[in-house]
Amino acid sequence: MNFLGNNTSIANGKCSAGGLMGENGAYRREGDLCFGAIKAMLILCLIALTTRQAEAQKFIENFFGEEKINLGLSQHYNDYKETTTLLYKAKTKVLNEYIKEKIAKGELEDKKFIISLKSSLQMRGQVDMWRGENGFWVSHPDYPSLQELVANIDYFTKPDRKPFIDDKPIVYQPVTIWEKDGVSLQFFGDSLRYMINDTPLPFKANANLPVKIQDRYLFFEEDAIFVVQDMQTIKSLKLDWLEMFFKDVNVFAHPKWVNICWHNEKDWSFSYSYDNNKFYENPNRGIMTMTTASRSVDFDLSGLAAATIDWGDGSEIEKVILKREGIALSREYSNDATKKITITGKHVHELWLGQDNLIQLDVSRNTALRTLSCGGNQLTTLDVSRNTALNILLCESNQLTVLDVSKNTLLKDLRCSNNKLTALDLSQNTVLWLIQIQNNQFDADALNDLFKTLHDNVLYPSLPGHTHVTVGKRITIGNNPGSWLCDQSIAERKDWEVNR
């Protein structure tokens, strides 16, 4: 059964046509479920899909619309890959032709399919399918194969109406889904393959899309990077498991080099030099420093692999093996001299500082940091603008007058009470659910301005399949000059609980 004909191209970019509800948005399930119950269930499903954020999580949606099918794909932020998006964009094209052929043969009613594919963090259990007056609804946990999706379509055509996997695969011509700089990406055999001049390349399309630097290409796999010139691999970089590309990374191509970064280009992880045909690793990645005059210092580190501690007193550098559950470190000094302590570890994910009278803290070069606790010190400034992976920031009881968290879009817990803050913009922090700003210098206008920047998203727990439970959002504002004069209803209308 060959129904695509000649090689078919799909335009680049994200497509949205008709959304997930189709043309009429009215569906009834086969059996005894009433229409009202189905409508309520669909609304809940749609909210779960279209709400971009969950507690400490983000979901990225893409919608692909064809004549006989709308397909919605939701990927977790920490697992997002453009190649996965392109894979299901191509599958939508193939399925559309399959549905059209079955309609033409009289094997399927002439209705539109609405297919929703969700991350397992959003949905658990079996496939859900509905038959409606104006269309068919299919909701899938995780990301099925093309043949599984075909079986879902066949569910509505077979007499016994039971899902199954057909032993006979469908036949289709390769679909060109992406083209750039002489490289194309084709969908064939339920997978993607790279092509140059109609010649397939051996690289797996499971990480970033390739980039070109002069007459060379960089191809990315989950665990390696390959440099290709004249169809030959001239250099490669093998990644250890801690560096593997389980999600798309940021790639910046320049005339003579390419920087590969987990976050910002300034904090590049690897760099490829065209002139030297060589990969370099950033020697400054993962460095954090703190300055204190205290006679004792203690802190906890959590993460993976190894880290080193330079205690700043001329002693031998200490090497430690990090653990997920954390390790406690401490040091006693013999005098009150100012010490600069340096922590180096590119896989340090959490830093819990004690009340060590710190007067300076620099975490800007550790972009892997997810939790920072530095309360009870003497900090007058704190720069977290490059810590874009940060989930939790606890910086209470310092002397901060300004705090910029606009780059920390994954922040869910912010506690900055007992400082000297007069303003705070949280407009970019769309997964926040706990905020503590009591005992600062916010007047009523400043608090009202802050309330206006709070998000109104519905948040869900960080548990797979718990989209029926919401997370309460709380902000504590007590003992600020404007605590009793502000208009807390601005926040309450967005479902925030305001505590004085």
Architecture of the domain whose range is 287-499: Alpha-Beta Horseshoe (3.80)
Tell whether pTM > 0.75.
no
* Residue 89 amino acid letter: K
Can you read off the two tokens belonging to residue 411?
């922040």
Please count the other Cβ atoms lying within 10 Å of the Cβ belonging to residue 92: 24
pLDDT band at 59 (very low <50, low <70, confident <90, very high): confident
Task: Give the start-to-end residue ranges of the domains of the chain.
Answer: 8-155, 207-281, 287-499
What is the rounded CA–CA span in Å between residue 141 and residue 122?
8
The model's pLDDT over 7-47, given as tens digits with 9 standing for 90+, comes to: 333 233 333 222 332 332 222 223 333 333 333 333 333 33
Sheet of 216-221: strands edge to edge?
A: 211-213, 216-221, 224-229, 232-238
Q: Is the pLDDT of residue 204 over 70?
A: yes
**pLDDT > 70 in the chain, percent:** 83
Can you read off the two tokens belonging to residue 97?
């032709």
Task: For residues 420-429, give the mean pLDDT.
Answer: 97
Residue 7: closest CA among 210, 184, 201: 184
Please count the other Cβ atoms lying within 10 Å of the Cβ belonging to residue 125: 10
Is the pLDDT higher at 481 or at 61?
481
Please count the other Cβ atoms lying within 10 Å of the Cβ belonging to residue 411: 26
DSSP state of 120: T
Residue 95: closest CA among 68, 73, 118: 68
Exposure string for 339-362, b = 16+ CB within 10 A, e = fewer? bebebbbbbbbbbbbbebbbbbbb
